[in-house]
Structure 1
Amino acid sequence: MRRVAGQRRTMNIQRITPGRTVSTLLLCGMFATAPLTLKAQEPNPTSRPAGAVEEGPNGIYLYRVQVVQRDLDAVNYFHRSGSTKIGFQGTTLLPGAKGEAKVQSERGGITIDARFEGLTPANGFGREYLTYVLWAISPDGRPQNLGEVLPAGTKNNINVTTALQSFGLIVTAEPYFSVSQPSDVVVLQNVVLQDKTQGVLEKVNAHFSLLPRGAYADTEGSKSIADPITRNERSPLELYEAHNAIRIAMNTGADKYAADIIQQAMQDLRNADDIDANKKGDRKMEITYARQAVQRAEDARIATLRKQAAERQRNTEIAKNQAQEQAMQSQLDAQKAQAEAEKSAAAKAQADAERARAEADAANARAQAAEANKSVESANAVREKLKEQLNSVLQTSESARGLIVNMSDVLFDTGKYTLKTPTQVSLAKVAGILQAYPGLKLQVEGYTDSTGSPEFNQKLSENRAGAVKDFLVTQGVQINNITAAGYGEAKPVADNGTASGRAQNRRVQLVVSGDAIGVQEQAPQ
């Protein structure tokens, strides 16, 4: 909750228990979590025109974002309070859809087992839509992509986890599964089930950013099109999503601003297409390649929009400086003409003095503007160079928090935190690279999969992060510039239900930030 100057906000909170409801009034300043109620969406009058770029959560830039208001029932699922049920009902876009979910509150997160019925092929809402995504919306309007609801057959199931405790649930039609923000094609919303849903409800007006229909391609609304794409066709839906994701990324200019990423995505798509053309091809590998192409295409789109925004900002600054120089020059010309018209020597001397001061101010303004532009360009160049150097040693990616160097668990013995010799060699190289950039901050973060007890995993992640930190210090990294923390199994990046997913979750990340690369140090979300 935020306090607006001179105003106090109140919220009506309801505790839901089987057979009764108790209402309480909670004043601004106290913590409570949210239910939010999907009404008709209305554009924010201050939203930017179509085609504008807005900065979304975690520094992610979104194309043609407008803010709309929706009311949604959100529930605070008490920490480790067991299971409860929540219902789903279709919106006016898909009134025949419905569903139900079992919500289990456990240590480290909340598990959602949802079942839906009546989901028609998503491209009935427009050619750019191919699938559905389940979202958790926090009381403050922050969306979290929980996973893809595959539009196959008449029943659709999904089992996911979230670190949020208070949230509402919606299902939207999307062009592919790895989108960062929900579209405004909301087809399902959660509803409280009488005598079944347990938790705390809070009625608030929640605002969250939605990508309006047409942001990806021209659409004809909710009219069905011929030959809708479904999972029942010979080619898997993931292949169509991959083609769609790359098309959208290319439309934003990814071939110019993120050429290396989009080329990798296109190679993944070619591999998937080659397998699809073979009637006896490995369908699991085809889907693997297709999903990788989708992920890389989304990364390329986000990187493109970020670089385009930076480019526009630089151009705006340049235009502003040129206008200031022209205005200053006009002022100097006017002063010169006035000085020549003056007959008095004293007046002429005064005019000359003012002209000299104006020239000095103009020179100082130009110098400051040039220095500011040089600083921004230098930080970008340093960040790109550092990323390239780190990538030559360990896999490195760019995020809103800075450069993330990823170390998989194969660098440690199973269940232990002793650094293997190859790991020490790689970390020694990383330490040598970082010493060339004084003042950088380094956050060492350890993570595990869900195998084993949460206590063991937490301790193992802390020990692994600490071992990496201690070794880097011995290699010359300043101890005041490095921190270490373990997060156990609480922040998975993949499904712990598969061996490949658990392998991705067992990792140690080095998050590099600092003024030298233009990124301030941030804690993980």
Structure 2
Amino acid sequence: MTFARQSDSGQQPTSSVEPMDHTPVFHVNVVSRSTKAVNYRHHSGKTTLDLRGTELMPEAKGHVSVESRTGRLEIDADVDGLKPARTFGPEYLTYVLWAITPEGRPSNLGEFNPRDDGKSSVKVSTDLQAFGLIVTAEPYFAVTQPSNIVVLENVVRPNTKGWEEPIDTKFDLLERGQYALDLNPAQLPATNADPKTPSDLLEARNAVAIARAEGADKYAPEVLAKAQDFLNRAEDYVARKQSTKAISTVARGAVQSAEDARILTIRKRQQEQQEAERRAMQEREAQARAQAEQSQQQEAAAKAQTEQEARQRAQAEQDRLAAEQAKADAERARQEAEVAKAAAVQQQQLAQNQAQQAQLTAQQAQQARLQAEQETQQTRERLLQQLNQVLQTKESARGLIVDMPDVLFDTGKYTLKPGARERLAKVAGILLAYPNLHVQVEGHTDSVGGADFNQQLSQERADSVRGFLAAQGVRPDSIEARGFGMTQP
């Protein structure tokens, strides 16, 4: 069985080839590529497919024989033209053969460890009955999901026996760097290792480092400790020059345990996230219930207050009708006084709140100003120190002044000397780290020659420096060039 690219004209139609118990061949979409999988469920005997290099490694090739054995399939794969996996990045150390089911489920079948001539082989068995084959570059052999560095895919030969039935399916591929999101690939232990270090040991070092970066110290400490113990034993075996088989055995044990720790860590972190989401939902529900109860209480209190006020108004009306006019006038005066008092208290409270808010705003503005001044001063000091390492720099009321020696130009010329370009390149490198700076280039000359000549020469020299800085990447709109001639030697 092999994977084959689909033709540009679209999906290949069902074709009739030499029947072999009607073994169906399925198309499996591998993200953006179209491949084929073979169903061996009703197939007996042996069939052969090819492996063809993808655009990532077109010179790679191989062939696969698949033989049915009482409920299992024996797979014998040989490949040629494999470059070192590190070609795709420091985190990649090996190649893995994958079986992809029509449902999109990947299964790690085994590792290709190519020799110096790019050749390798693997013999494995699987319970799967319908699948396609791909080969990917991986950080270690025990990975559980293929990366998107697909270097080989299978192609059905013209004489492959069976019949095709297209099935569209997709499966996930890990993008570059996904196995080490919290770890710079350049920091992986294998990146700077001795070239003579056994590849199994390199995979073990990287696998343990990746699991630890994933958080296995917290979520799977016992499994990670087991992986570390295997790794320590492998390191010891190498130091004591033990057999390659002994080193490989414990190193691969470290890889498998590290991958187990990484997977367990991912699952526990997902469980933590789900539990946090569940608690957050419960808290939201409890808060909603509390708010509903509070709203009901407020409505009941408002209703009781309304009823009480209605009774009071009725009683007041009865009192007004029964009382003398003087008493009614006094009552009205009292009510007006209470309203005025309440309004005064409310106005006083409002004024107090506004004053407090104004004070808080002023404090925040002051803090922001002080922080901005401090950051500006720190930036100024850092820039002064950096520029002083290249050219003499001093503070001034106008800003930092970088003194450029007279040896920048030949007498009467405005073309920069090579030595001047080297220094200015260093200055440009520093200025690139401060994109918001305004740079003023000032040209000066001595009093030799006429005023107009020196004025033009100083301007051309300033423009020459400005142009060089801009060519080095400094924003042209942040550079101002001005010539002073001999007025300011």
TM-score, normalized by length of structure 1? 0.51
2:47 aligned residue = 84
User: Which is richer in strand?
Assistant: 1
**After superposition, what is the alpha-carbon deviation per residue over 1:63-82, rounded to whole angstroms, capped at 9, x for unaligned?**
xxxxx454211122354521
Question: 1-side partners of 2:66 and 2:104: how far apart?
Answer: 20
1:205 aligned residue = 168
Please say if residues 79 and 105 of structure 1, whose CA atoms lie closer than 8 Å, have aligned partners that are also in contact: no
Shift of 1:346: 8.6
Please say if residues 230 and 253 of structure 2, whose CA atoms lie closer than 8 Å, have aligned partners that are also in contact: yes
1:159 aligned residue = 123
Letter in 1 for 2:170: H
Mark the CA change 1:13 to 1:78 in structure 2 (over 3 Å): closer, same or farther: farther
Question: 1-side partners of 2:191 and 2:172: how far apart?
Answer: 28
Please say if residues 70 and 207 of structure 1, whose CA atoms lie closer than 8 Å, have aligned partners that are also in contact: no
**After superposition, what is the alpha-carbon deviation per residue over 1:439-488, rounded to whole angstroms, capped at 9, x for unaligned?**
xxxxxxxxxxxxxxxxxxxxxxxxxxxxxxxxxxxxxxxxxxxxxxxxxx
Instruction: Find the partner of 1:238 among 178, 193, 200.
Output: 200
1:313 maps onto 2:311 in alignment: no
1:400-479 to 2 correspondence within 5 Å?
Answer: none
Please say if residues 90 and 191 of structure 2, whose CA atoms lie closer than 8 Å, have aligned partners that are also in contact: no
1:4 aligned residue = none
2:237 aligned residue = 275
1:119 maps onto 2:120 in alignment: no
Please say if residues 80 and 106 of structure 1, whose CA atoms lie closer than 8 Å, have aligned partners that are also in contact: no
Question: 2-side partners of 1:119 and 1:300: how far apart?
Answer: 30
**After superposition, what is the alpha-carbon deviation per residue over 1:119-174, rounded to whole angstroms, capped at 9, x for unaligned?**
11111112111100001111111111110011322211111112222211100111
Please say if residues 28 and 170 of structure 2, whose CA atoms lie closer than 8 Å, have aligned partners that are also in contact: no
Shift of 1:218: 6.4
Question: 1-side partners of 2:40 and 2:304: how far apart?
Answer: 84
Letter in 1 for 2:161: Q
2:416 aligned residue = none
Instruction: Find the partner of 2:292 among 314, 331, 345.
Output: 331
Letter in 1 for 2:246: M
User: Which is richer in helix?
Assistant: 2
1:360-439 to 2 correspondence within 5 Å?
Answer: none
**After superposition, what is the alpha-carbon deviation per residue over 1:385-433, rounded to whole angstroms, capped at 9, x for unaligned?**
xxxxxxxxxxxxxxxxxxxxxxxxxxxxxxxxxxxxxxxxxxxxxxxxx
Mark the CA change 1:341 to 1:217 in structure 2 (over 3 Å): closer, same or farther: same
Shift of 1:35: 3.3
Mark the CA change 1:327 to 1:11 in structure 2 (over 3 Å): closer, same or farther: farther
Please say if residues 29 and 169 of structure 2, whose CA atoms lie closer than 8 Å, have aligned partners that are also in contact: no
Please say if residues 87 and 101 of structure 1, whose CA atoms lie closer than 8 Å, have aligned partners that are also in contact: yes
1:46 aligned residue = none
Mark the CA change 1:118 to 1:304 in structure 2 (over 3 Å): closer, same or farther: same
**After superposition, what is the alpha-carbon deviation per residue over 1:9-67, rounded to whole angstroms, capped at 9, x for unaligned?**
x996444329xx99x9xxxxxx96623265xxxxxxxxxxxxxxxxxxxxxxxxxxxxx
Question: 2-side partners of 1:123 and 1:336: how far apart?
Answer: 69
1:168 aligned residue = 132
SS in structure 1 of the partner of residue 272 of structure 2: helix
Letter in 1 for 2:262: R
Shift of 1:215: 0.5
Shift of 1:330: 2.0
Question: 1-side partners of 2:192 and 2:161: how far apart?
Answer: 38
2:313 aligned residue = none
Mark the CA change 1:152 to 1:329 in structure 2 (over 3 Å): closer, same or farther: same
Mark the CA change 1:147 to 1:15 in structure 2 (over 3 Å): closer, same or farther: farther
2:221 aligned residue = 259
Please say if residues 25 and 166 of structure 2, whose CA atoms lie closer than 8 Å, have aligned partners that are also in contact: no
Question: 1-side partners of 2:35 and 2:308: how far apart?
Answer: 72
Asked which structure has the greater CA Rg, the reply is 2
1:36 aligned residue = 28
| Aligned residues between the structures | 293
TM-score, normalized by length of structure 2? 0.55
Shift of 1:266: 0.2
Letter in 2 for 1:100: H
Letter in 2 for 1:36: V
1:182-201 to 2 correspondence within 5 Å?
Answer: 182-195=146-159, 197-201=160-164
Shift of 1:188: 0.4
1:340 aligned residue = 301
Question: 1-side partners of 2:161 and 2:47: how far apart?
Answer: 6
2:94 aligned residue = 131
1:495 aligned residue = none
SS in structure 2 of the partner of residue 188 of structure 1: strand
Shift of 1:234: 3.0
Please say if residues 123 and 228 of structure 1, whose CA atoms lie closer than 8 Å, have aligned partners that are also in contact: no
* Structure 1 unaligned regions, length at least 5: 1-9, 25-30, 39-67, 220-224, 349-525
Letter in 2 for 1:236: P
2:17 aligned residue = 16
Letter in 2 for 1:77: Y
The CA RMSD over aligned residues, in Å, is: 3.3
Question: 2-side partners of 1:142 and 1:37: how far apart?
Answer: 12
Shift of 1:290: 0.2
Question: 2-side partners of 1:347 and 1:311: how far apart?
Answer: 53
* Structure 2 unaligned regions, length at least 5: 1-10, 183-187, 310-489
Please say if residues 246 and 294 of structure 1, whose CA atoms lie closer than 8 Å, have aligned partners that are also in contact: yes
Please say if residues 88 and 191 of structure 1, whose CA atoms lie closer than 8 Å, have aligned partners that are also in contact: yes
**After superposition, what is the alpha-carbon deviation per residue over 1:208-239, rounded to whole angstroms, capped at 9, x for unaligned?**
122222202369xxxxx9x9899x95321110
Instruction: Find the partner of 2:247 among 286, 305, 324.
Output: 286
Please say if residues 80 and 107 of structure 1, whose CA atoms lie closer than 8 Å, have aligned partners that are also in contact: no
Mark the CA change 1:346 to 1:72 in structure 2 (over 3 Å): closer, same or farther: farther
Identity over aligned pairs, percent: 44
Please say if residues 141 and 207 of structure 1, whose CA atoms lie closer than 8 Å, have aligned partners that are also in contact: yes
SS in structure 1 of the partner of residue 179 of structure 2: coil
